[in-house]
């Protein structure tokens, strides 16, 4: 890929994608900026990519512009960059705006950039933080008028972030919770397993390692065998054994229901985020 890539915002999620992009591309093709310029410069020094001092410069520097800012401030940032995006498009340059903001639909992004005209291309991406180590799950959505080369370009930029898949936009809010939010739920589960191990006598550091490795292995079993999680669970539960006793206790305490309700609550919050004006 020859095109340059710019990132506006270097927070946790933006930073994860910047790291991935610098692995997938020549870091010299990547340019980053943040309202805390010193933070962006520190990351650029670490990764060997470029740092620019303003959002305008970021737009000028890249063909693909990743908007890694929170939904609540996205409108303001888009209105700020709209004139320079238009200038570039009027000169015949290609500019593909890539939003990672939860809840904000493509229609909203295009509305904020309406002055840019029909030449503008907008793509929506929803990643998760494991993308920082190449273990992420990323969904990509685009309108039908977006040329395949640009969607493929975004997927190439993110190729070292983990598993990247196309998804219809009407499923992005659901995906955001199941993939984008759920690492936090999984971290809580790992911590709780480790706490249980400490209660039964394991040293803290070992308990944490054992719990994390086991969760990673169990997830790999689902992906690599293609078997239903229920089938894999049953294979661990010997008759009258310790595992089925633990499963029964999780059911008694509402473990499964709590996970489902967490996803539902996150989905409803995403809908609210999409109502930003």
Residue 193: pLDDT above 80?
yes
Number of H helices, E strands in the chain: 12, 8
Residue 270: pLDDT above 70?
yes
The torsion defined by the Cα of 195, 228, 263 and 243, in degrees rounded to 10, comes to: -20
| Nearest alpha-carbon partner for 21 in 161, 153, 162, 180 | 161
Q: What is the pLDDT of residues 34-48, one digit of tens each?
A: 999 999 999 999 999
What the block records as the tokens of 9 is: 């915002």
Contact by Cβ (8 Å): 112, 79: yes
Residue 271: pLDDT above 90?
no
Q: What is the pLDDT of residues 72-98, one digit of tens each?
A: 999 999 999 999 999 999 999 999 999
Q: Is 266 part of any known ligand binding site?
A: no
Q: Is 8 part of any known ligand binding site?
A: yes
Q: Per-domain residue ranges for the chain?
A: 5-167, 175-273
How buried is 138 (Cβ within 10 angstroms: 0-12 exposed, 13-18 middle, 19+ buried)?
Answer: buried
Q: Is 11 part of any known ligand binding site?
A: yes
Q: What is the pLDDT of residue 1?
A: 80
How buried is 238 (Cβ within 10 angstroms: 0-12 exposed, 13-18 middle, 19+ buried)?
Answer: exposed
Q: What is the pLDDT of residues 113-129, one digit of tens each?
A: 999 999 999 999 999 98
Residue 275: pLDDT above 90?
no
pLDDT band per the 50, 70, 90 thresholds, residue 218: very high
Q: What is the pLDDT of residue 258?
A: 96
Q: What is the pLDDT of residue 277?
A: 58
Residue 274: pLDDT above 90?
no
Q: How far apart are CA 139 and CA 124, in angstroms?
A: 8
Q: Is 18 part of any known ligand binding site?
A: no
Q: What is the mean pLDDT of residues 198-219?
A: 98
Contact by Cβ (8 Å): 36, 17: no
Phi and psi at residue 164, to the nearest 5°? -120, 125
Q: What is the pLDDT of residue 200?
A: 97
Q: How far apart are CA 138 and CA 76, in angstroms?
A: 25
Q: Is 254 part of any known ligand binding site?
A: no
Fold of 5-167: Rossmann fold (3.40.50)
What the block records as the tokens of 190 is: 């790992």
Topology match between the domains 5-167 and 175-273: no
**What percent of the chain is predicted at pLDDT more than 90?**
93
CATH number 1.10.1200.10 is the correct assignment for the domain at 175-273? no
């Amino acid at each position: 890929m020859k095109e340059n890539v710019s990132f506006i915002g270097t927070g946790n999620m933006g930073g994860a994608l910047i790291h991935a992009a610098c692995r997938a591309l020549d870091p010299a093709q990547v340019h980053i900026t943040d309202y805390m310029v010193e933070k962006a410069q520190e990351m650029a020094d670490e990764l060997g990519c470029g740092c620019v001092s303003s959002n305008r410069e970021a737009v000028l520097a890249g063909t693909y512009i990743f908007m890694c800012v929170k939904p609540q401030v996205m409108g303001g940032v888009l209105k700020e960059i709209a004139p320079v995006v238009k200038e570039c498009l009027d000169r015949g340059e290609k500019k593909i705006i890539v939003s990672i903001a939860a809840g904000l639909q493509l229609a909203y992004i295009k509305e904020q950039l309406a002055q840019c005209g029909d030449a503008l291309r907008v793509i929506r991406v929803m990643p998760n933080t494991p993308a920082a180590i190449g273990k992420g799950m990323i969904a990509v959505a685009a309108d039908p008028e977006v040329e395949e080369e640009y969607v493929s370009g975004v997927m190439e930029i993110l190729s070292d972030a983990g598993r990247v898949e196309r998804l219809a936009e009407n499923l992005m809010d659901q995906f955001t919770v199941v993939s984008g939010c759920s690492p936090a739920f999984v971290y809580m589960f790992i911590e709780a397993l480790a706490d249980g191990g400490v209660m039964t006598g394991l040293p803290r550091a070992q308990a944490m390692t054992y719990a994390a490795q086991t969760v990673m292995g169990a997830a790999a079993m689902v992906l690599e065998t293609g078997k239903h999680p229920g089938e894999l669970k049953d294979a661990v539960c010997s008759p009258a054994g310790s595992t089925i006793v633990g499963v029964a206790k999780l059911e008694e305490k509402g473990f499964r229901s709590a996970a489902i309700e967490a996803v539902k609550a996150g989905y409803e919050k995403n809908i609210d985020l999409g109502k930003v004006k």
